[in-house]
Amino acid sequence: MAKRKRHKNAGCPVARPLDVIGDCWSMLIIRDAFDGKRRFGEFQKSLGLAKNVLSARLRNLVEHDVLETVPASDGSTYQEYVLTEKGRGLFPVLVALRQWGESFFFEPHERHVLLVDRKRRMPIRRLEIRAQDGRLLGPADTMVTAA
């Protein structure tokens, strides 16, 4: 299977992360973790995923330091999964994906959930790509160079 090829030695910062999150279930587990879900059963209920598949995905995310396991917050014997610093670093990826989804995967009349600012309950701003001096950049205004 081509999917088994790994990108961990690629010199490209787009390629390397895809070994960890280039799978739709992994991104949805991460979405749920940002949304406050912590327990195996909560992820399973949200995603409707077979236990063995969910278990493998969670293990992969823990191995790659995106999630970590902690004792249950209620003192029970369950373990919980929480985002690490590296995992929380995925917030802009998730927001970018969400905004792309909002723009191109829903009909104008179709309702969808919204990511809002907790304080004012207003949808967050659209992401913008900017130069160091603040200019707004489109794809054609950028290029990839050797470091």
Q: Which of residues 64-103 bind its own copies (CB under 8 A)?
A: 83, 86, 88-103
Shortest CB 60 distance to its own copies, Å: 13
Q: Are 54 and 67 in contact (CB under 8 A)?
A: no
What is the sign, positive or negative, of the torsion defined by CA atoms of 38, 39, 44, 46? negative
Q: Which of residues 17-36 bind its own copies (CB under 8 A)?
A: 17-19, 22-25, 27-28, 31, 34-35
* 3-state class (DSSP) for residue 82: strand
The yes or no reply on residue 4 touching its own copies (CB under 8 A) is: no
Tokens 């802009």 belong to residue: 92
Q: Which of residues 47-66 bind its own copies (CB under 8 A)?
A: 48-50, 53
Q: Which is nearer to its own copies, 77 or 103 (CB)?
A: 103
Shortest CB 1 distance to its own copies, Å: 9
Question: CA 110 to CA 71: how far, in whole Å?
Answer: 40
Query: Can you read off the two tokens belonging to residue 10?
Result: 């690629």
Which of 14, 74, 77, 107 binds its own copies (CB under 8 A)? It is: 14
Q: What is the DSSP letter of 136?
A: B
Q: Which is nearer to its own copies, 72 or 115 (CB)?
A: 115
